[in-house]
Amino acid sequence: MLLVKKRTYLGAYESALREAGIPFVSDKRGGLLESLEVADLIALLSFLITPGDDRALAHVLKSPIFHAGDNDLIAIVRQEGSTWWERMQAAAAGSASAALWRARQLLQAWLDAAPRLPVHDLLDLILHQGQLVARYAQAAPAAARAQVVGNIEAFTELALNLDAGRYPSLPKFIDALQVLRKGAENDAPDEAAVDAAVDAVRILTIHSAKGLEAPVVVLVDANHSEPARDDSGILCDWPQDADAPSHFSCFGRKGERGAARDALFAAEEAFKQQEDWNLLYVAATRAKEMLIVSGVAGARGALEDGTVEGSWYHRLLAVPEMLFDADAADFTGASAAGEGEFAIPLFDPPALGQPAADAAPARSIAIDEGIALHALLERLTQTAQWPVAVPEVPQLARWLRCAHAVAAVIREHALRILGQQELERFFNPAHFEVAHNELEVLCGGELYRFDRAVVCAGEVWILDYKRDLLDSERAEYRAQLLRYQAAAQQVFPGKTLRTALITADGRLWEMD
């Protein structure tokens, strides 16, 4: 998560992440009209009002609505005509691309419909005929897809609800959007909600992040975190158990307030400072593994090191730096502590692919690969998609939280298993009725967990994934699968039960 106290520079953070190719989602308040997909729709509506708006037409052609290329725009410019719309019609009549031919057909139909349809009905027609939801979903990065589609739906809803439907005509609707865009942040419509489970950087305000956590949290602009100055407002003192306020007055700039209300202003300032500390606590405790605090060096009034006195960055400098020596640490018990000090045992398990010093490297790697293979096959086969798309190594390493070397090996194992024609019947939904991953069955007071149970017309396969199968292990695994079979008989009565192991080399080992 990337946490901000104020939304002032959200656009800059989004641009930086976009240029770096890092997927992100943002909960920018009042940002619906500034989102790219809604800007495309507004440009389209502007063109339908004024077909001579060449810039709006170029915007629409390059958007996912039509996906025109640079060569298409060059072909338009080379035609004769006073406007781009006239030139595009001429270009589309010749040997134009499929994108220009489609744009000509649809834009002409929408130009004919625009004067006679209410805005919401016109947008509904455009979305349907242009298949815009599908086109934007295909064009958007996977991490932002839900928000892009949600923004399109929110804009369509806005056309229906804006000012109780008082803007049925297209020109008045565009004028109303301009008013909203220039208005206060709280008046502008919000973007669609951020999906908290998406695998991307989430840009959130600290208030929005309450109750959420992330492995890595970046607190940005922490060197300029002072609250906004109140130069005007209402001062109200209303005790909790009172029926009416004991004080109510207006105030202006600090030098004009007089001394009679100093005690009330001091109490209000104390409340603000406490709330500021509470907000800093919320921000710092969102991180599960790493907190990164970033700030821009101050200029006027800053200290010698560039920090602004009283800022969050300046406060966090007072936190003592603690260096942890992993080599010298004793993970078996509490670390030595002097009298009056508090200490707890520390346990830092090695990451997958990095075996502990007291474990046999070959055995540790085998166990790690076996665990990772189970996790990957479970994740890849939990949907009805076939063939299964296996991500590249970097993404698998993030999924499984393991080293790239382990992810590379596991990817090859998964490709080998899913690519075996003999095994396709267990993973391709066309060959079975239903399949369950990690199915848990309680039998005789003992809990059994099947890696995969595949239910076919007359039989059920209970499958167990193994990295490899040694001759010395066959008897043990046969006994294990017999216990699985007895437990599964209670869940699938009347079905023929068959059990087998699937190993990383893509082989099926049926156990009678």
Cβ atoms 133, 144 nearer than 8 A: no
178 and 207 share a domain?
A: no
Do 162 and 283 sit in the same domain of this protein? no
Q: Are residues 300 and 164 in the same domain?
A: no
pLDDT at position 232 is 79
Helix axes 170-182, 36-49, angle to 10 degrees: 140
- For residue 249, give its domain range: 201-253+261-313
- pLDDT the model gives residue 504: 87
Q: Are residues 220 and 288 in the same domain?
A: yes
What pLDDT is recorded for position 214?
87
Q: What is the pLDDT, as a whole number, of residue 8?
A: 74
- Return the CATH number at 159: 1.10.486.10
* Same domain? 96 vs 235: no
Tell which residue, 105, 103, 122, 108, has the closest CA to residue 174: 122
Q: What is the pTM of this model?
A: 0.43
- Do both 115 and 72 map to the same domain? yes
Q: In order along the chain (512 residues), what is the average pLDDT of each group of 10 residues?
A: 83 84 70 82 92 93 92 89 90 79 92 89 92 89 78 83 62 78 54 59 83 88 75 82 88 80 82 85 89 86 81 84 56 44 49 46 64 84 81 83 84 89 87 85 80 86 84 82 85 85 87 70
Number of domains in the chain: 3
* Residue 264 neighbours by CB under 8 Å, 6+ apart: 235, 237, 247
> Residues 145, 35: one domain?
yes
Rounded to an integer, what distance in angstroms lies between the CA atom of residue 328 and that of residue 326?
6
Residue 81 covered by a domain: yes
Token digits of residue 392: 């590249």
Residues 212, 177 share a domain: no
Residue 290 contacts residue 217 (beta carbons within 8 Å): yes
163 and 129 share one domain: yes
Measured distance CA(446)–CA(450) in Å, rounded? 13
Flag whether 51 is in a domain.
yes
Q: Are residues 128 and 229 in the same domain?
A: no
Residue 402, domain member (yes or no): no
Convert the pLDDT of each residue in 28-38 to its tens digit. Answer: 555 677 788 98
Whether 445 is covered by a domain: the verdict is yes
Residue type present at position 199? D
pLDDT value of residue 27: 63
Write the single-letter amino acid at 13: Y
pLDDT at position 362 is 43
Q: How far apart are CA 383 and CA 406, in angstroms?
A: 24
Q: Of 123, 153, 182, which residue constitutes the final position of a domain?
A: 182
Q: What is the pLDDT of residue 321?
A: 65
Instruction: Give the chain's end-to-end CA distance (angstroms, integer).
Output: 51
- For residue 151, tell me if it sits in a domain: yes
Residues 41 and 143 in one domain: yes
Q: Residue 143: what pLDDT?
A: 66
CA 410 to CA 374: how far, in whole Å? Answer: 10
Longest dimension (CA), the chain: 92
Q: What is the pLDDT of residue 53?
A: 92
DSSP class of residue 286 equals T
Where among 313, 337, 353 does a domain terminate?
313
Query: Whole-angstrom Cα distance, residue 150 to residue 467?
Result: 42
Residue spans of beta strands (DSSP E) within 78-213: 201-205
3 state SS of 464: strand
Examine residue 287 and state whether it is found in any structural domain, yes or no: yes
- The mean pLDDT value of the chain amounts to 80
Residue 352 lies in a domain: no
Answer whether residue 342 is part of any domain: no
Of 313, 331, 347, the residue that ends a domain is: 313
Which CATH number goes with the domain that contains 449?
3.90.320.10
Instruction: Read off the pLDDT of residues 334-388 as tens digits, 9 standing for 90 and up.
Output: 444 444 454 544 445 455 444 444 444 444 577 777 788 888 888 888 777 788 8
86 and 214 together in one domain = no
